[in-house]
Amino acid sequence: MARYKQSQWNIIIKREIESGFSRGETSVVIRCKEILLRHQPEVYPGGSHQAPMVSKAIWNNMRPSDRVINRPASGFGPSLTVSFRDSSWFKDRSCLGR
């Protein structure tokens, strides 16, 4: 089972956002549940998934122009969905860990 550290989730989310903008999208929608299914298919759904850490990585990457589409009551969970609209962050490639 793949278990990631918070810093790894931050990089995964940054790469997902960068991928969307590099395809020419004007906004990139990130859903916590889809990230879990892609990166932890063997444990999601289930009790040992890392939805809180993925959610934190999504929150960590938000800019003022981004907006929350769906937010669980706690703010951290599989239903968290955010539309990233500010592509300026990805011009700083040093934050991608590459």
Chain segment 50-60, per-residue pLDDT in tens: 999 999 999 99
Pairing relation of β-strands 28-31 and 81-84?
antiparallel
Tens digits of per-residue pLDDT, 58-71? 999 999 889 999 99
Identify the segments of the chain with pLDDT beneath 50.
93-98
Say whether 27 sits in a helix, a strand or coil: coil
- Determine the angle formed by the axes of helices 32-39 and 51-61, rounding to 10 degrees: 120
28 closest CA partner among 16, 42, 44: 16
